[in-house]
């Protein structure tokens, strides 16, 4: 677990819209992603993750315009994921304001892409995105926004990703995603205690207690959240203040 726990807003995008679903399905339009990103920035979020939810289906990432607008007024790290297939794709996103890229589907097909991105742009830029689902008591790696089972074991893939020089892991529990019922704590702990790179917990945030538990008991280095922020169930200041009251090292925030 890192010294400073990062609070991250995750924005899933379809076309030009911010969307949200449950278990990565039943996606509904929430609003304008740039407006939400600006709000979260103003409220003191540490980082923003944009994920193009249908990019892997169409073989392209559609977030360039959204990123260009975002970086005009937002000055925190932005990670872009979805449909990234080559170092050329990465270079285009970085040139337009992204600081990191999250690669999932393409990395399972071509694991060398992890190393190629890390060597060319630095490992801190390369986030391995893993979508996990419990199948017959084993966590399996899913791709294409949770649509396809790769047959790969999550822990084995996470450890291999580290060896291939991924800089951190975005670990999303499909079973918990969008439920507000808490993270898959066993999943997060299993991965975070077996790799030395940071693990971002994603999927299930519903309360400040969930935040505390995934950091204190499951050793997450950062926490990504969506629904709980989009629908005003919690504010970033609620989360930050509660973390500080419980002696968690979150980044100090001064606007």
Q: Which residues pair with 31 in a beta bridge?
A: 18
Tokens of 150: 């790769």
3 state SS for 206-255 = CCHHHHHHHHHCCCCCEEEECHHHHCCCCCHHHHHHHHHHCCCCECCCCC
Closest CA to 131 of 82, 100, 86, 170: 170
Catalytic-role residue among 89, 131, 175, 177? 131
Whether 12 sits among the annotated catalytic residues: the reply is yes
Catalytic residue among 12, 175, 177, 184: 12
Give the 3-state DSSP-derived string for 128-196, with helices as H, strands as E and coil as C.
EEEEEEEECCEEEEEECCCCEEEEEEHHHHHHHHHHCCCCEEEEEECCCCCCCCCCCHHHHHHHHCCCC
Q: Note if 221 is an active site residue.
A: no
What is d(CA 121, CA 98) in angstroms, rounded to the nearest whole number? 12
**Residue 252 to residues 5, 87, 116, Cα–Cα distance (Å):** 10, 34, 34
Cα within 13 Å of Cα(16), Cβ side? 4
DSSP-assigned letter for residue 99: S
CA distance 224 to 9: 6
Query: Which residues are known catalytic residues?
Result: 12, 131
């Amino acid at each position: 677990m890192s010294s400073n726990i990062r609070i991250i807003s995750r924005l899933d995008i379809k076309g030009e819209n911010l969307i949200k679903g449950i278990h990565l399905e039943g996606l509904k339009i929430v609003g304008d992603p740039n407006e939400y990103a600006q709000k979260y920035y103003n409220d003191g979020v540490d980082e923003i993750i944009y994920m193009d939810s249908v990019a892997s289906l169409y073989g392209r990432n559609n977030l360039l315009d959204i990123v260009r607008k975002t970086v005009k007024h937002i000055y925190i790290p932005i990670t872009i994921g979805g449909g990234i297939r080559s170092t050329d794709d990465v270079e285009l996103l970085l040139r337009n304001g992204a600081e990191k890229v999250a690669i999932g589907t393409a990395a399972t097909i071509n694991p060398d892409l992890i190393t190629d991105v890390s060597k060319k742009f630095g490992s801190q830029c390369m986030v391995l995105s893993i979508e996990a689902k419990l199948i017959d008591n084993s966590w399996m790696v899913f791709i294409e926004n949770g649509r396809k089972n790769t047959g790969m074991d999550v822990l084995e893939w996470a450890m291999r990703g580290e060896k291939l020089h991924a800089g951190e892991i975005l670990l999303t529990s499909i079973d918990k995603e969008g439920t507000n019922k808490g993270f898959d704590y066993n999943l997060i702990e299993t991965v975070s205690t077996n790799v030395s790179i940071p693990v971002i917990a994603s999927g299930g945030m519903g309360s400040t207690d969930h935040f505390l538990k995934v950091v204190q008991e499951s050793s997450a280095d950062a926490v990504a959240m969506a629904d709980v922020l989009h629908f005003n169930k919690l504010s970033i200041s609620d989360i930050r203040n509660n973390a500080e009251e419980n002696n968690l090292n979150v980044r100090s925030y001064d606007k």
